[in-house]
Amino acid sequence: MYQVRNGHGYSALTPFTAVVLNPYTQTKKMPNRPTNRQEYNENKIAIHFHLQKKGDAPAFRVLQGQFADDNAWREAATLIEDARARGDQATLVRAFTLVTWSSNDGQSEFVYAAVPCPIVRTVPSMGGHATHTTTMEVGGDCRDPIVVVPSSRLHPELTDNQILSAQFSLSWVWSVPPNRMPHIRALRKTRCVYEQQRYCLTPDEGVSRRTVASQVGFFLLEYLIDLSSISVNDRFDAQTSFGFPFADSDSREAAPIAVEEGIQGRINAIVNPEPPWAHDRTAWLPSVEKLHRAIQGTSNVRTPDELHVHMPNFFTVYKQLENEYIRRRRACWDPKYDWGVS
């Protein structure tokens, strides 16, 4: 079994229900909401220097759309195609929307994540004013317009078509107080190679990555979906940190990558993957070897019912890995914890 993590979300190519990544999912640890007009106005000079180049268009506000993640980008591409078919001028505006974050440590500084947001600029063929539309749903009170900051610094290495394809993972840019910068760098250091671009301190740090597929199995998705406290937003990183392999893919609708049939084939696919599959050992947690031993211990299994007998053992190991995963993330915010980053 495997799951595709595309540029802006998940699509499951397994018997399991598809999971959509939402970067705005709220948690008790780090509640977040769209940045409001007052917050922007009070910080707009700093935001301009942080995210824009000289000559970039000023920020504006638009009503939220109705789609999340890769669906939002796909719908934006459709809007552009439909407008051009009518004879209108329609283009993608590279832009960030701002999400205000707060924590439980009493910090009062304005902290935000700048998240890439699809904006379509349309000029009617019969003349008139240009309009701006987003297809993305950000959260909060959807009746309130969201702040949009145009930026030519948003992945200049990609074409507009590449951005709209949802075949690339785009970077989040964080604005935090100086004393929090080491924590963001620490979080980035602990993430798998595919997820590191979600923790950038400037737009220029961002490096886009292709769609990736994750090789999963042995009840992992059942655990993550039904039993785990790990957010949907962190599942791909957790899978990689748990010792499951991934592979780059050129297609958002990635075709299956063949593996050897039978239980031994599934064991080898996870424990001893062959190219294009690979592990990201830099992200591994301490109990990964224990999990791999448990997977290898199913080599005598012949039927799904026999494999099901091992499920409680896998859930026990997954819980141990989850605890290690959560402790590692919390440690990044502990000022006494030394990650060796400056």
Summarize pLDDT for 34-44 with one digit per residue, the tens.
999 999 999 99
Mean pLDDT of the chain: 83
User: Residue 318: in which H helix or E strand, if any?
Assistant: helix 311-332
β pairing state of 111-116 and 95-101: antiparallel
- The pLDDT assigned to 143 comes to 77
Residue 115 near residue 166, CB atoms below 8 Å: no
Q: Does residue 106 have a pLDDT over 70?
A: no
Amino acid at 91: T
For residue 239, the Cα-to-chain-centroid distance in whole angstroms is 13
Mean pLDDT: which of 1-5, 113-117, 331-335 is highest?
Answer: 113-117
Q: Does residue 81 have a pLDDT over 70?
A: yes
Token look-up 């699809």 returns: 118
Distance, in Å, from the CA atom of 312 to the CA atom of 122, rounded to the nearest integer, reads 55
- The pLDDT assigned to 48 comes to 97
pLDDT in tens, 129-168: 999 999 999 887 777 899 999 999 999 999 999 999 888 8
For the chain, domain boundaries? 2-21+210-332, 32-171
- The pLDDT assigned to 44 comes to 94
Distance, in Å, from the CA atom of 42 to the CA atom of 109, rounded to the nearest integer, reads 12
Per-residue CA distances from 147 to 19, 138, 202 (Å):
27, 11, 18
Residue 229 near residue 238, CB atoms below 8 Å: no
- Closest by CA to 98, choosing from 53, 47, 52, 55, is 47
Determine which of 52-61, 85-94, 202-211, 319-328 has the lowest per-residue pLDDT on average.
Answer: 202-211
Residue 111 near residue 46, CB atoms below 8 Å: no
